[in-house]
Amino acid sequence: MGMQNYQGFVNFLITLLLVTTFLIILARRLNSVIMAVIIQGLLLVALSATLGWTTGIHEMYIAAVLTLVVKVLIIPVVLIKAVNIVAIKREVESFLNMKMTLLFAVCLVFISYLATGQVIGKGSGLLHGALPVAVSLMLIGLFLMINLRFPIMQIVGLFVMENGIFLAGIGTTIGMPLVIELGIFMDIMVGVLIMGVLVFRINQSFDIIDRKNLRNLRG
């Protein structure tokens, strides 16, 4: 089976990844954010499985399984638990309003196409679709971390960034060495777990976890 047949499907998946990112931005309730996160994880699973099928690299399947376990099961479960434990308000609060946030995100997508367009030429296959979206995901992830108030949302931002890195990895190299992917997985998992514990503790001690209050710590 040649790759050409699946090119359209892969591109479709990549586009959906971008769409789910916008879903995360647009979601107003913490639960729907987590749902979007799960969808994004599933899309990544599908992407790596498809690539494994088309290229015949079997390590891709391992990556797919790992993604499924970590990004679709563990992380969302931890996030949901954390939300259930602490959140009194289940609405997402951000610094910028919805319109501005969207505008910003669109600009970021535009910038990433602009920036990566220099690196890759036309007709470079998978790369051509994957890299700009990957960079968009990283930028939007970072932007989410800045824009959203709720500490749990920071970990969502980090999650989106990591997905961007993963996409860049499989998009550009058809699968990074497994060790590196494992490393990144462990990273984000530990991050999520620590966050879960911290949120729990902060909640126990202060009953509030809006990071606005962390400001009082500065000298």
Partner 1 sequence: MPVFDELLLIVMLTSLLLGALLSYVLHKKPRLSIFVGFTFANLACLAGLVLGPAILLSKHSLDVILPWSVFGTSLQFSLNPLAAFFITVISVLSLSVSVFSYGYASAYIGKQNVGVLGLFYNLFIFSMLALISSSNTFMFLFFWEVMSLVSYFLVVFEHQDYEVRRAGFIYIVMTHIGTAFIAIAFFLLYKETGSYDFAQYSSIAHNLSPTLKSVIFILVTLGFGTKAGIVPLHIWLPKAHPAAPSNVSALMSGVMLKTAIYGFIRIAMDVLGVGSVWWGVLILIIGAVSAVLGVMYALMEHDIKRLLAYHSVENIGIILLGIGAALVFKSYGYNNLALIGLTAGLFHVLNHAVFKGLLFLGAGAVHYATHTRNIEEMGGLLKRMPWTGFFFLIGSLAISGIPPFNGFASEWLTFQALLALGSAKLGATMNIIGPALGAALALTGALAAACFVKAFGIMFLAIPRSVNAEKAKEVPRTMLVGMGLLALLCLIFGVMPFIVINLLSPVTYSLIGIETIPLLGGYSWLNVPPIVGQGVAVIKPNSISPPMVLAALVLSVLLISLFIKKFAKFSMVRIDETWNCGTDLTSEMEYSATSFSNPIRIMFRAIFQPTRETKKEFVLKPYFTSRIKSQGAIKPFFEDHLYRPLLKFFLKFADKVTALQSGSIHLYLGYIFATLVALLIFAR
214 binds partner 1 (CB under 8 A): yes
Q: How far is the CB of 93 from partner 1 (least distance, A)?
A: 12
| Tally of CA atoms within 13 A in the half-sphere of 51 that contains its CB | 29
The structure tokens listed for 144 are 């989410």
User: Residue 108, interface with partner 1 (CB under 8 A)?
Assistant: yes
Report the residue from 12, 15, 73, 95 that binds partner 1 according to the rule CB under 8 A.
95
Count of alpha carbons within 13 angstroms of residue 118, beta-carbon side = 4
Count the alpha carbons within 13 Å of 190 in the hemisphere toward its beta carbon. Answer: 6
Q: Does 29 bind partner 1 (CB under 8 A)?
A: no
The reply to whether 118 sits near partner 1 by the rule CB under 8 A is yes
Shortest distance in whole angstroms from residue 218 CB to partner 1: 3
CB 44 within 8 A of CB 167: yes
Rank residues 86 and 161 by Cβ distance to partner 1 and give the closer one.
161
Phi then psi for residue 150, to 5 deg, are -70, 130
For the bound state, the minimum distance from the C-beta of residue 82 to partner 1, rounded and expressed in Å, comes to 18
Q: Give the shortest CB-216-to-partner 1 separation in angstroms.
A: 8
**Integer Cα distance of 12 and 1 in angstroms:** 19
Q: Would you count residue 120 as binding partner 1 (CB under 8 A)?
A: no
218: left (phi over 0), alpha (psi -120 to 50) or beta: beta
Residue 163 touches partner 1, criterion: CB under 8 A: no
Which residues ranging from 126 to 145 are in contact with partner 1 (CB under 8 A)? 135, 139, 142-143, 145
Position 217 contacts partner 1 (CB under 8 A): yes
Q: How far is CA 123 from CA 128, 129, 130, in A?
A: 7, 10, 12
Q: Summarize as ranges the residues that interact with partner 1 (CB under 8 A).
A: 95, 108, 111-112, 114-115, 118, 135, 139, 142-143, 145-147, 211, 214-215, 217-218
